[in-house]
Amino acid sequence: MGEQNWQAKAQYHAARSRERAERIAELEEELLQARAGAAQDVVPPVYGVTRYSLFQPESPDWRLSQVDAAEYRDRLWAPERMAPRQQIFLEWAVPVYQRFHERHGYRHIVQHSPDLPDRWLDPLRAAAEANPALVLDPVGGWKGRIGAIRDDLRARGVPAGPLAWVRVDDDDLLATDYLDRLLPLVTLAHDGFAVSFGRGLTARYTDGALADFGVTVQAMVSMGLAFVGHHDGTGRTSFPSSARSHAVLHRHLPTVLDSRQVSYLRLLHGQQDRDVGRAASDPTQSRVVPDLDETLADLFPTVVGASDTAAGTTGEPQAPFAR
């Protein structure tokens, strides 16, 4: 009788053990599925970086800096140079960056000189207070962005994974769907890649108004040029080198080039650094812009009220064009 009781108890405990093992296996599978789902829901962090008229004497990056330091400072922050940039950046670009932030958690680092005159710094600070997307960085320099990115990653507790930073000047605009096309490329499989969206619009900026719209297609333009890297969850990041000229980066980095759709609006005006000391350049390849009004409303809505679209035609483009 005792032997039978012992066997019954052993069978009972064995059955209970199997039930527990099966339940543990079920819980582990549920946990794996939950983690996979959470990983899919995490949007990789993307940081825009704009150098807001940094004072960098003898910098090789801008032609304007190749003059006497005092003259350079005066010309850099002169009203005729800064006023267009202030309007373009604060009125037209920042609302788009804030939309990116609200949809994707995007942050935009604005690097400025610590001694930027209050006339230009105060509106910038006010914009940062009103738009959480903006992160002001008074240190400056491309390397300085790493500290701002590190601090933001730590503050948000972002888990380890891929991330990207995006270059954009203070007088150019990104399309409202720019991140929708960049984010699928911000993966560990693209770690170390550059991403160039080569198709954009051009327009002439004069006294707060835009006209003479056109189309340009150019690989490795600075507008929206992105660099995919990774971070370890503690704020430490790794990005591909951006030390070389953007025009030749594809010779040194694996690069994704996509020029199928308009990704930026390049504004042409008389105070552009690339044209200092030489004739103004114009990258426009065609003045024929199909559905210009609709394109601006969809991709660049902040400039609609300032745009004279009569100069943009709606006939057949000279080269393949996709909105």
What pLDDT digit, counting tens, does each position of 14-56 carry? 777 777 777 777 767 666 654 544 444 579 999 999 999 888 7
H helices present in the chain, as ranges: 2-41, 69-76, 79-86, 94-104, 118-130, 144-156, 178-182, 292-299
Tell me which residue has tokens 């911000």: 186
What pLDDT digit, counting tens, does each position of 281-300 carry? 787 778 888 899 999 999 99
Residue 182 burial class via C-beta count within 10 angstroms: exposed 0-12, middle 13-18, buried 19 and up: buried
Phi and psi angles of residue 284, each rounded to the nearest 5 degrees, phi first? -60, 130
Q: Residue 31: its pLDDT value, please?
A: 60
Of 79, 84, 76, 89, the residue nearest 126 (C-alpha): 89
More confident of the two residues 279 and 93: 93
- Give the strand order in the sheet containing 264-268: 172-174, 264-268, 199-206, 209-217
Bridge partners of residue 135, in order along the sequence: 109
Q: Residue 323: its pLDDT value, please?
A: 37
Tell me which residue has tokens 């069978």: 11
Cβ atoms within 10 Å, residue 309: 17
Q: Residue 144: its pLDDT value, please?
A: 75
Separation of alpha carbons 51 and 144, rounded Å? 11
Separation of alpha carbons 117 and 114, rounded Å? 9
pLDDT tier at 248 (50, 70, 90 boundaries)? low
Most confidently predicted of 138-142, 201-205, 313-317: 201-205
The torsion defined by the Cα of 184, 95, 259 and 214, in degrees rounded to 10, comes to 170
Separation of alpha carbons 173 and 300, rounded Å? 8
What pLDDT digit, counting tens, does each position of 5-21 carry? 667 766 766 777 777 77
Separation of alpha carbons 113 and 121, rounded Å? 9
| CB-based contacts of 272, cutoff 8 Å, min separation 6 | 171, 280
Q: Residue 100: its pLDDT value, please?
A: 98
Q: Residue 205: its pLDDT value, please?
A: 95
Q: Residue 15: its pLDDT value, please?
A: 72
Q: Which domains does the chain have, with CATH numbers?
A: 44-311 (3.90.550)
- Output the average pLDDT for the chain: 84
Tell me which residue has tokens 């994707």: 104
DSSP 89: I
Q: What is the CB-side half-sphere exposure of residue 289 using CA atoms within 13 A?
A: 28
Handedness of CA 311, 313, 318, 320 (dihedral sign): positive
What pLDDT digit, counting tens, does each position of 208-242 carry? 999 999 999 988 899 999 999 999 999 899 998 77
pLDDT tier at 256 (50, 70, 90 boundaries)? very high
Question: Lowest-pLDDT range, 71-85, 92-106, 303-317?
Answer: 303-317
DSSP 243: -
Q: From the centroid of its chain, how far is CA 118?
A: 27
Q: Which two tokens stand for residue 166?
A: 């995006």
Look at residue 278 and tell me whether its pLDDT is greater than 60.
no
Q: Residue 21: its pLDDT value, please?
A: 74
Bridge partners of residue 136, in order along the sequence: 110
Of 239, 49, 51, 235, the residue nearest 152 (C-alpha): 235
Handedness of CA 66, 68, 73, 77 (dihedral sign): negative
